[in-house]
Amino acid sequence: MIANAGFGFCSNGAILFSGDSTGGTARVEVFGNGIVNCRFDVSAHNVPGVTVGSIEGDGLVLLGANNLTVGSNNLSTTFSGVIQDSGSLTKIGTGKLVLTNANTYTGATEVEAGALVVNNTTGFGTGTGPVEIHAGILGGSGKIAGAVTVGTGAGAGAVLSPKMTRPRPRTLTIQGPITLKSDSTYKVALNSTHTRADKIVANGGVTIESGAYFIVLGSGQAVLPPGTVFTVIDNKSGMPIAGTFANLADGSSFRVNGNTFQASYEGGDGNDLTLTVQ
């Protein structure tokens, strides 16, 4: 289903779901990023909301107070428009949903499968509510406003991986507290040739529950000079990181692509997770 921009408000395309209508695996595309945008509107649907196959384009998504579940067709799509209102967003399916704009919805964002990539450059990519990764992957180089919880503590596993499929490591900024549950994994891409690594900027504090794992995905063949430091969790909260990864004790060392790194949870300005070349 495609909604395109016209020459005035009345001629702009709109896709509306109301009552108990169902979206099935429909591919929804809304275009026309301007003064009056085309819209995909589920605000009049009955609670709890509606499921569609995928969303893409640069128009508007109006949630009302409903939940919009996206991903039933397993496609990977990019949405660069604005999702708004008080409702929530749920990602399902094996595909990847990339959000590149400042969204304003206030409900929760949940990932049940596949990947959610937050690549906004202004505002907050997932609105203002909490973000929960029950399974699947959270990545990107944007900014998230709410609290982030990776894993459930008893699920199939969830992954935090800023780089995702990008060629170089990325930085993901989280304004609220971040909790890595016992069934979570933090995957860090580290490129020795470009001397860069994935980084989480955590403004609201960091909690690592017992059982959470840390993995470095090394690339590049450069032998780095001793003392080279990579900050993989930049903890801005002023409080220490609570807990450690199950396979990365404080002060422990490991070797990747010809370089040996030592971990410190008191690195940087005293409360960051750093990897220092030995």
DSSP string, 42-83: -TTBPTTEEEESEEEESSEEE-TT-EEEE-TT---EEE-SEE
Number of domains in the chain: 1
In a domain, 217, yes or no: yes
In a domain, 198, yes or no: yes
Percent of the chain with pLDDT over 90: 88
Show the tokens assigned to 17.
């779901």
Percent of the chain with pLDDT over 70: 95
In a domain, 204, yes or no: yes
In a domain, 83, yes or no: no
DSSP H or E segment with residue 183: none
Q: Is residue 29 within 8 Å of residue 1, measured between CB atoms?
A: yes
Three-class SS of 10-33: HHCCEEECCECCCCCCCEEEECCC
In a domain, 8, yes or no: no
Domain range for residue 164?
130-277
In a domain, 260, yes or no: yes
**pLDDT per position as a tens digit, 229-267:** 999 999 999 999 999 999 999 999 999 999 999 999 999
In a domain, 248, yes or no: yes
Per the confidence metrics, is the pTM higher than 0.85?
yes
**Closest C-alpha among 117, 61, 58, 69 to residue 93:** 69
Output the pLDDT for position 36.
57
In a domain, 1, yes or no: no
How sure is the predictor about 13, in pLDDT bands with cuts at 50, 70 and 90? confident
